[in-house]
Structure 1
Amino acid sequence: MDLLKSYAEPTDDDNNSDNSSPNSSPIRFSIRPKSAAPQVDDTSLALSISSNPLSTKPLDPTQHVVNYNPTYDQLWAPIVGPAHPYAKDGIAQGMRNHKLGFVEDAAIEPFLFDEQYNTFYKYGYAADPSGGIGSNYVGDLDAVRENNAVSVYNISQREQKKRKLEKKKEAEAEGNDNVGEGIDDPSTEEWLKRNRKSPWSGKKGEIETELTEEQKKYAEEYAKKKGEEKDGKKDKAEVVADKSTFHGKEERDYQGRSWIAPPKDAKASNEHCYIPKRLVHTWSGHTKGVSAIRFFPKYGHLILSAGMDSKVKIWDVFNSGKCLRTYMGHSKAVRDISFCNDGTKFLTASYDKNIKYWDTETGQVISTFSTGKIPYVVKLNPDDDKQNILLAGMSDKKIVQWDMSSGQITQEYDQHLGAVNTITFVDNNRRFVTSSDDKSLRVWEYGIPVVIKYISEPHMHSMPSISLHPNTNWLAAQSLDNQILIYSTRERFQLNKKKRFAGHVIAGYACQVNFSPDGRFVMSGDGEGKCWFWDWKSCKVFKTLKCHEGVTIGCEWHPLEQSKVATCGWDGLIKYWD
C-alpha cells in the first residue's frame, strides 16, 4: 500500500467525497500515467505551425531524407524552379545588373561629365547625376551655397555683373565709354584689342634665351619648311635637271645608222615557243631594285629598265650585252615605263609625281607632265595616228588623258575608288580596261569618261598587273590572292571560270604577268624570286625557274627569239634566260 501511495495522489473528487460523505470509505487511490510533454494551448499550437517555415516550404524532390513531418499540401505542392539569388535583397528578378544591386544607364555628354568631375575636385560638390527629387547637388552643400553653385566652366550672374562694372569703370577712366559694351564679347574688336596678348606671351622670351645656336638653326629651317608647304609647294612635282649619258662606243656606225636601229637580219627564228632552261646573261647597273623592264618593240634587240635608284637604263641584247645609255631626270624611284610603237621614244612615270617623254636615241626630255599626284601607270594610245595621246593612272583614282602636242589635259576618267594600277587597250584600241586598288575592273570607251562595264565581285582582290593574250580575246589578270584570272575581251568581259593559274605566291607584290608570243604559255614572277610557266590549255605548271634573290617583279618574253625570256627583280639585276 505504501508503494502504491508513492505513485498516486488523491484526486479532487476523492477529497470532496471525503468532506461530503462521512460514511464513505476512508481512502481511495487512482493510478494515472504521467506525460513528459508540457501542456500547450490549441491556439498557440496552430500559430506555431503556421509560423514554422518548414511547414510552408515545398519539398525538394531530390531530397532523400526529411527530418520533419510534412503536411499534405507540402507533399503535393508543384515543383518550383530555383529562387532568384538576389531576391532576398528585395530587388525583383531581372532588375539587378550589378553584383551590388541595380545600376541605371546614364547618358552624359563628355563635356558635362568633365565639368562636374572637375567641379567636384575643386569645390567639393557636383550636380546630382541621378536627377533625384530634393537635393540637386551631391557633396559639400555648404560650399554650394558659398559659391552660388558655380561650376569650374562658368561664372555666376553676380560675378559677371561685378566684372562688367569694373571693366566699364576702367574704360571710363581711359576716356572711352563705348569699349565697355563689347568687352565681354570675343567677337568684337574691343575684346580683341584688350586680349591681344596671350597669357603665355611673357614666357616666350625666356624660352628663346635657353635655346642653343644649333637649336635655333633647326627651328629656323623647320619654320622655313613649314612656310614652303603652306605656299602650296607640297603638292607640286619635284624639279630635277634632265641629263643622259651614252655608254656605247659610238652613237652612229660607219654607215650612219643610229645605235637604236634594229639589225637587218632580225626576224623570228621559229614560230614555236619553248621554255627557257638556263641563264645566258646578267645585267647589273642599278644600285637599287628594278621595277620594270620592256623589250624594244617588234625587234627586242634592246631592253629598257626602270630602277628604284631613279634612273632608267637601256641595255644591248643583240650584241655586246652592255648598258648603252642612262637617262637621269627623276628624283625618286621610277615606277613604270612604256615605249611608243616604233621605239624611238618612251614614257617614264616616277614617284616624284612627274611623267617624262624621252627621246630614246638622244636622251633628251621632249616634254614633262604632272598633276601633282603620283602616276602609277603610263600608256600611249596604240593607234599609229594617236601616238600623241598619253593616258596615266594616278594615285588620286583618276585616269588622266593628255594631248602631248599641246600639253593639255583633254579628258579625265574619274570613276575608280582607289589608285589606278593598269591600263590595257582592247577591241582594236576602241576600249581600254583599268584595274585599281578598289578591287574592281572597269571598261571604258576611249575618249568617253563613262564606264561601259563594271566588274566587282565579293571574292575579287586587287589586280596590279594585266596582260593581253596574243590573240586579243583574253586578258590575264594577276590577282593578289595568289592566282591569275582570265577575262574575255568580248562584249560581256566575263570571267573564264575554267582557266585559273595558281601555285605562285605574289600576295602584296605587283608581279608582272605575261604571255609567250605564240600564246601557249603564261608566265609570272613571284615574291620568292621564281619565274613560273603554265600551259595555257591545261592550266598546269610547266616549269619554275629560280631567278632572283627577293622578288621577281617583272618578266618579258623576247618578241623574236622565242625561247628567250628576261626577268628583273628587287635585287637590282636583270637576267636573260634561254
Structure 2
Amino acid sequence: MDLQQPSPPSSPSSSPSSSPLRIPLPSKTSAPSVNPTLRNLHKPIDPVQHAVTFNPTYDQLWAPIYGPPHPFAKDGIVQGMCNHKLGFVENAAIEPFVFDEQYNTFHKYGYAAYPSASACYNYVGDLDALWENDAISVYNIPQHEQKKQKLKKKALESEENEDAEVGPSVENPTSQEWLMKNRKSPWAGKKERVQIELTEEQKKYAEEYAEKNAEKKAEKERGGGRDKPEFADKSTFHGKEEHDYQGRSWIAPPKDAKATNDHCYIPKRWVHTWSGHTKGVSAIRFFPKHGHLLLSAGMDTKVKIWDVFNSGKCMRTYMGHSKAVRDISFSNDGTKFLSAGYDKNIKYWDTETGKVISTFSTGKIPYVVKLNPDEDKQNILLAGMSDKKIVQWDMNSGEIMQEYDQHLGAVNTITFVDNNRRFVTSSDDKSLHVWEFGIPVVIKHISEPHMHSMPSISLHPNSNWLVAQSLDNQILSYSTRERFQLNKKKRFAGHITAGYSCQVNFSPDGRFVMSGDGEGRCWFWDWKSCKVFRTLKCHEGVCIGCEWHPLEQSKVATCGWDGMIKYWD
C-alpha cells in the first residue's frame, strides 16, 4: 500500500482545506495496558518529593521507608542497640511486687489488671470471675472472707475450751496436753519465772545495786543533777606575772602604741607563728584599737589569747566549752569578750581574770555573737542561731529582750551599720536582711536568683560600704545607704572559697580588701581597681580567718584549719 509522504509545514497564510491528509502509524508495545490508578496503589511515597500526583491512602503515607541493611547488623538487628537476643527490651514501668501480684492473681482467678490502660480500672481475662470476686487480688482478702476466718477462729477456741473442761481426747491425748500448755506463743507475754535462791555474793551485789539506785533517785528529787554544770569553767595563765611592778595588768596596752601614719602596705614575709591549738583555728580577733593581744577560737574547745607586742607567747587559755568554739567577739574596751560554741552555749568572759561572768543558751547552736557597738549598750548581746533566729539578750538581767525571726536558714553574720541604728544579717537562705535595732521587722530584704550564701561580711572603714564573701568564689560589695544596693562594678574574684566560711576584711585605711581561701592562701585586692595585688601561701589547709593589725600598717594575722596562727609583715 502506497502512503503519501507528509509535505512540509504550510505557511500560516495557507488554508486548512489545502493541507494534505495525514494517517497516524499504529504503535506496538509488548507490555499490557495498566490502569494508572492501580499502578500507584502500592507505590511507596518518596519523602524527598514535594508534590504527590495521586491521592495516597493512609497506609501509603505512613509506610516505612525501605533501604539497604545496616552494615554492622547481625540478623537484621544492630548489636549496639540490643540488650536481648531478639532486640531491644525497655524496662517496664511496673514495680516487682505489683507484677507478682497480678501474675499470681491471673493464674488463680483468671483475670489481671491491664498495666498499659489509661483508665484506672481496666482488666484482661475472665471478666465473669472478676465480677464474682469483686476484682480482688491474691494479696487482698475481702471483708466477708475476713469475717468467715474470724468466726472459724472463735469456733475453734470454743471447741478447745470445751475439750479442756471434758479432759484430754482419747484419740491423741499427748497433742491435747501440748495444746493446753502451749496455747499462747512464746512472744504472747511474760512467763512467770520460778524464784531461785540467790547465793551470798549475788545477794550482796543486789543490795549494793538497790542502794545506788535509791541514791540516784534521791539526788534527782533534790534537783542536784540539774544545777550541776555540764563542763567546769576554768582558765590558766601562762605569763610571768599578771601585774607588773607598777601595778598595771597584763592586758593593759603599751603607752607608745599608736599608728605612725595612715598609709597601709601589703605584707611580704612570714615573721611569727603561734602554735598551741591541737585542732583547727576557726576565728581570730585583735585587741580593739591597740592590737597588742590576739584572741583565737579553736576547734579543740579552747579560747587562747596571745601576746603580739612583746614575747609572742600564749598569755591565757580559757576552757569552758565542751565542743568546738565557733565565734568570738571583744567588747569595745577589750576587757571582756564573748565566745560561742557548738555545745549551744554563749559565754561572757573576763579577759584579765579568765572568769565566766555569765552563760546564755536557747538550746540551739549560736553561729555568730556580737555586742552592740554603742558605749551605752555594751550590755546587749546579739546572737545568730541555727534555728533561723537572731536572739537579743540583756546581759544584766539575763533575759531575752527581742527575737528577730524572718530568715529561712541558719544566721551566719551580724554587721552594724548606719551609726549602729541598723544591722545587716546574712543566712544560709541566700539572702541579706536589714533590721532596725530593737524592731523585729525587716526594713530591707535582698534576695536575687544569682545570690549565694554569704558566710562573712565586713564593713568598710568609712562605713559607706560592706563587702560580703559569696560562696560562688567572689566578694560582692553593697552600699550601706538607704537603698543597700549591690555595686556591680566592685566585684573581687580569683580565690576559691566555695564551701568554706572564709573571713573577708579591710585594711585600716580602706585601700585593700583581703580574704582567705580554701587552698590556704591569703588574697589582697585593690579597693578602687578591684585587681589582685598579692597572694600569700599561708596555711596547709583552709585559711579561714585574716585580720589586719589596727595600728601597724603592714602586719596581718591569719589562721587556718592546720591549727596555726601566722603573723605577716
TM-score w.r.t. the length of structure 1 is 0.69
Q: Residue 141 of structure 2 aligns with which residue?
A: 154
Q: Residue 536 of structure 2 aligns with which residue?
A: 545
User: How far apart are the structure 2 equivalents of 1:135 and 1:515?
Assistant: 82
How far did residue 351 of structure 1 move?
Answer: 1.2
Q: Residue 340 of structure 2 aligns with which residue?
A: 349
What does the per-residue CA deviation read over 1:140-176, in whole Å, with 9 as the maximum and x for residues that have no partner? x9xx88x99774332452662463375279579989x
The amino acid of 2:402's aligned partner reads Q
| Identity percentage of aligned residues | 74
Q: Residue 564 of structure 2 aligns with which residue?
A: 573
Structure 2: runs of 5+ lacking an equivalent: 1-29, 65-85, 87-91, 163-182, 192-227
What is the 5 A alignment of 1:413-432? 413-432=404-423
User: How far apart are the structure 1 equivalents of 2:534 and 2:489?
Assistant: 21
Q: Residue 504 of structure 2 aligns with which residue?
A: 513
What does the per-residue CA deviation read over 1:538-577, in whole Å, with 9 as the maximum and x for residues that have no partner? 2111111111112111111111111111111111111111
Q: Residue 201 of structure 1 aligns with which residue?
A: 187
Q: Residue 534 of structure 1 aligns with which residue?
A: 525
User: How far apart are the structure 2 equivalents of 1:410 and 1:309?
Assistant: 32
Secondary structure of the residue aligned to 1:201 is coil
Q: Residue 13 of structure 2 aligns with which residue?
A: none
Secondary structure of the residue aligned to 1:167 is helix
Secondary structure of the residue aligned to 1:157 is helix
1:497 aligns with 2:483: no
User: How far apart are the structure 1 equivalents of 2:466 and 2:502?
Assistant: 16
User: How far apart are the structure 2 equivalents of 1:554 and 1:159?
Assistant: 70
Preserved CA contact (<8 Å) 1:115 1:153: no
Preserved CA contact (<8 Å) 1:530 1:547: yes
Q: Residue 557 of structure 1 aligns with which residue?
A: 548
Find 1:278's aligned residue among 262, 269, 280. Answer: 269
Are residues 84 and 480 of structure 1, via their aligned partners in 2, closer, same or farther at CA, if it must alter by over 3 Å? same
What does the per-residue CA deviation read over 1:432-459, in whole Å, with 9 as the maximum and x for residues that have no partner? 0000111110000011110000011111
Preserved CA contact (<8 Å) 2:285 2:329: yes
Q: Residue 279 of structure 2 aligns with which residue?
A: 288
Q: Residue 297 of structure 2 aligns with which residue?
A: 306
What is the 5 A alignment of 1:311-330? 311-330=302-321
Preserved CA contact (<8 Å) 1:118 1:152: no
1:398 aligns with 2:389: yes
The amino acid of 2:528's aligned partner reads K
Find 1:337's aligned residue among 328, 331, 340. Answer: 328
Q: Residue 260 of structure 2 aligns with which residue?
A: 269
Are residues 55 and 413 of structure 1, via their aligned partners in 2, closer, same or farther at CA, if it must alter by over 3 Å? same
User: How far apart are the structure 2 equivalents of 1:198 and 1:361?
Assistant: 73
How far did residue 362 of structure 1 move?
Answer: 1.1
How far did residue 523 of structure 1 move?
Answer: 1.0
Decide which structure has the larger Cα Rg and report it: 1
Secondary structure of the residue aligned to 2:154 is helix
User: How far apart are the structure 2 equivalents of 1:418 and 1:558?
Assistant: 33
User: How far apart are the structure 2 equivalents of 1:238 and 1:551?
Assistant: 34
RMSD over aligned Cα, in angstroms? Answer: 3.8
Secondary structure of the residue aligned to 1:452 is strand
User: How far apart are the structure 1 equivalents of 2:146 and 2:534?
Assistant: 88
The amino acid of 1:77's aligned partner reads F
What is the 5 A alignment of 1:97-116? 116=102
**More displaced stretch, 318-327 vs 402-411:** 402-411
What is the 5 A alignment of 1:163-182? 163-164=150-151, 167=154
User: How far apart are the structure 2 equivalents of 1:254 and 1:545?
Assistant: 41
Q: Residue 77 of structure 1 aligns with which residue?
A: 54
Secondary structure of the residue aligned to 2:147 is helix
**More displaced stretch, 328-337 vs 110-119:** 110-119
How far did residue 370 of structure 1 move?
Answer: 1.3
User: How far apart are the structure 2 equivalents of 1:159 and 1:565?
Assistant: 80
What is the 5 A alignment of 1:190-269? 201=187, 239-269=230-260
Preserved CA contact (<8 Å) 2:111 2:124: no
What is the 5 A alignment of 1:3-42? none
Secondary structure of the residue aligned to 1:305 is strand
Q: Residue 199 of structure 2 aligns with which residue?
A: none
Find 2:428's aligned residue among 410, 427, 437. Answer: 437
1:471 aligns with 2:457: no
How far did residue 126 of structure 1 move?
Answer: 4.8
Are residues 311 and 61 of structure 1, via their aligned partners in 2, closer, same or farther at CA, if it must alter by over 3 Å? closer
How far did residue 393 of structure 1 move?
Answer: 0.7
How far did residue 58 of structure 1 move?
Answer: 6.0
Preserved CA contact (<8 Å) 2:110 2:126: no
Secondary structure of the residue aligned to 2:150 is helix
Aligned residues: 447
What is the 5 A alignment of 1:371-386? 371-386=362-377
User: How far apart are the structure 2 equivalents of 1:59 and 1:125?
Assistant: 46
Are residues 465 and 200 of structure 1, via their aligned partners in 2, closer, same or farther at CA, if it must alter by over 3 Å? farther
User: How far apart are the structure 2 equivalents of 1:120 and 1:530?
Assistant: 69
Are residues 471 and 58 of structure 1, via their aligned partners in 2, closer, same or farther at CA, if it must alter by over 3 Å? same
Secondary structure of the residue aligned to 1:320 is coil
User: How far apart are the structure 2 equivalents of 1:439 and 1:295?
Assistant: 29
Preserved CA contact (<8 Å) 1:128 1:138: no
How far did residue 309 of structure 1 move?
Answer: 1.1
How far did residue 368 of structure 1 move?
Answer: 1.2
Structure 1: runs of 5+ lacking an equivalent: 1-36, 38-44, 64-74, 87-99, 101-105, 176-196, 206-236
**More displaced stretch, 123-132 vs 338-347:** 123-132
What does the per-residue CA deviation read over 1:291-349, in whole Å, with 9 as the maximum and x for residues that have no partner? 10000011110000011111110000010000011111112111110001111111111
1:450 aligns with 2:441: yes
How far did residue 111 of structure 1 move?
Answer: 9.7
Find 1:387's aligned residue among 378, 392, 395. Answer: 378
Preserved CA contact (<8 Å) 2:112 2:124: no
Find 1:365's aligned residue among 356, 369, 374. Answer: 356
Secondary structure of the residue aligned to 1:409 is strand
User: How far apart are the structure 2 equivalents of 1:508 and 1:469?
Assistant: 24
Q: Residue 217 of structure 1 aligns with which residue?
A: none
Preserved CA contact (<8 Å) 2:321 2:341: yes
Secondary structure of the residue aligned to 1:163 is helix
User: How far apart are the structure 2 equivalents of 1:327 and 1:445?
Assistant: 34
Preserved CA contact (<8 Å) 1:530 1:546: yes
Secondary structure of the residue aligned to 2:151 is helix
User: How far apart are the structure 1 equivalents of 2:46 and 2:139?
Assistant: 63
What does the per-residue CA deviation read over 1:379-419, in whole Å, with 9 as the maximum and x for residues that have no partner? 01111111111111111111111111111111111111111
Are residues 433 and 238 of structure 1, via their aligned partners in 2, closer, same or farther at CA, if it must alter by over 3 Å? farther
The amino acid of 1:340's aligned partner reads S
How far did residue 238 of structure 1 move?
Answer: 9.2
User: How far apart are the structure 2 equivalents of 1:132 and 1:556?
Assistant: 74
Preserved CA contact (<8 Å) 1:126 1:137: no
